[in-house]
Amino acid sequence: MRPDSFELDNCLKCSVCNAACPVYAVHPGYPGPKHLGPELERLRLEGIATDTQWLEYCLGCHRCDLACPHQVGVSEMIARAKAHHPKPFTRALRDWWFARPGLLGKLTTIVPFVSNFFLRLKPVRWIMSKSMHITPKRRFPAYTRPTLRSSTNNRAERVLFFPGCFLTYNRPDLGRKVLELLERNGVAAELVSTGCCGVPAQANGEESLARDQAARHLAAMDEKLQSGMSVLTACASCGYQLKSGFGGLLAEDAKLASAAQRLAAQSYDLAEFLLERADKGKLDSAVHPIGRRVAYHAPCHSNAQGIGHPWMQLLRQIPGLKVEEVDAGCCGMSGTYGFKQEKYDVSMRVGQGIIDRLHILQPEQVATECATCQMQIEHGTGLPTVHPLEILLEAYNGEAI
């Protein structure tokens, strides 16, 4: 979406976007999405210098877009302005790496046990805090050799599966569970192994990199999309990007924009896809009971897809499982945002509502389909947090996994 298609004139300065913004609610200095988005966008379009460090404090949660009654593209205005915001060298270097989790994954998984050992050391984390402004209060997820492979079942219905960086380099075991869950329901998945979805690049101000990544993905997938294949994701951020992000990045190229629309129409969250199969009577309903109290957190990027809460619907079909929605706003982690030293306190203040709510609910387990939401919840509460597909697969198999 280009600046002239932001529906800028639809902004009535009603401040609904500010009311929906998690950062605006906890940071007294933050001017809010109305100011950083449409108010400054009018000046930016006139060539007036408006750069501000507050652009970096946008979480990219898209809650402002959902709240806007006039469909103003607030978050995209901020993201484009962020791409032109200069940073001090050390923070620019940090954000360069954070924008490239695929490259980071490839390097750290050459000898993963060595990478994991050093990333756990307090002195190493202290050095990273001083040299690259990465908070030592966070721990990086463990890296694992990428061992995820396409399904070999040629008799089943076939789909494309976009694993994203986390399932490729950190949790290939979770990726294999996706394939197992699909095969259990008569579906074989072919991996789309073209790298990062582009959300980290945009979040760290590298719009051109995100655009290149989007074009590469479309080049790899479009022929199969034209044949009618669906694309599945098990990550809320990857899903949002495939459905919404590519169209904005590639709007100036008519051919790529058309392919992005095709991808958006044929992309599904894993739970969304399974529920659709259930509606057609194609979902395996032979599940074992699970006696457990689970709290479910819906990530911002799942909400931004406008698909409801399909994982909660699936979990509530498991006998004996008591599922309650957390419904306490944004977790505040927002991918790499919560790893940045200058944003750690803001990240935790944003997530405090979820932490407080979970202390009230006292669940035995928390479920959410966003990997960094899982990190934030475990960091703030100590509660075991899993992807909902792991609970569903446990119900199918009749044993904890």
* Distance in angstroms (rounded) separating the CA atoms of residues 304 and 248: 15
User: What is the model's pLDDT at position 248?
Assistant: 86
284-397 CATH fold: Rossmann fold (3.40.50)
Measured in whole angstroms, the distance separating CA 351 from the mean position of its chain's CA atoms is 16
Average per-residue pLDDT for the chain = 94
Q: What is the DSSP letter of 11?
A: -
> Is residue 47 packed enough to be buried (19+ CB in 10 Å), middle (13-18) or exposed (0-12)?
exposed
Cβ neighbors of 111 (< 8 A, separation 6 or more) are: none
User: Which residue in this structure is represented by tokens 């579906």?
Assistant: 187
User: What is the model's pLDDT at position 400?
Assistant: 62
Q: Is a pLDDT exceeding 60 seen at residue 93?
A: yes
132 phi/psi in degrees, rounded to 5: -130, 10
Q: Is a pLDDT exceeding 70 seen at residue 4?
A: no
Cβ–Cβ under 8 Å, residues 200 and 98: yes
Beta bridge partners of 267: 231
DSSP string over 56-105? GG-----HHHHH-TT---HHHHHHHHHTT----HHHHHHHHHHT-HHHHH
User: What is the model's pLDDT at position 238?
Assistant: 97
Q: Is a pLDDT exceeding 90 seen at residue 59?
A: yes
Residue 98 — pLDDT band, cuts 50, 70, 90? very high
Residue 5 — pLDDT band, cuts 50, 70, 90? very low
Q: What are the boundaries of each domain within the chain? A: 3-82, 284-397
User: pLDDT tens-digit profile of 209-228?
Assistant: 999 999 999 999 999 999 99
User: pLDDT tens-digit profile of 243-265?
Assistant: 998 988 998 899 999 999 999 99
* Distance in angstroms (rounded) separating the CA atoms of residues 246 and 225: 15
User: What is the model's pLDDT at position 83?
Assistant: 93
User: pLDDT tens-digit profile of 151-192?
Assistant: 888 777 999 999 999 999 999 999 999 999 999 999 999 999
Q: Is a pLDDT exceeding 60 seen at residue 371?
A: yes
pTM: 0.94
* Distance in angstroms (rounded) separating the CA atoms of residues 274 and 98: 32
User: What is the model's pLDDT at position 216?
Assistant: 94
User: What is the model's pLDDT at position 401?
Assistant: 53
User: pLDDT tens-digit profile of 272-317?
Assistant: 999 999 999 999 999 999 999 999 999 999 999 999 999 999 999 9
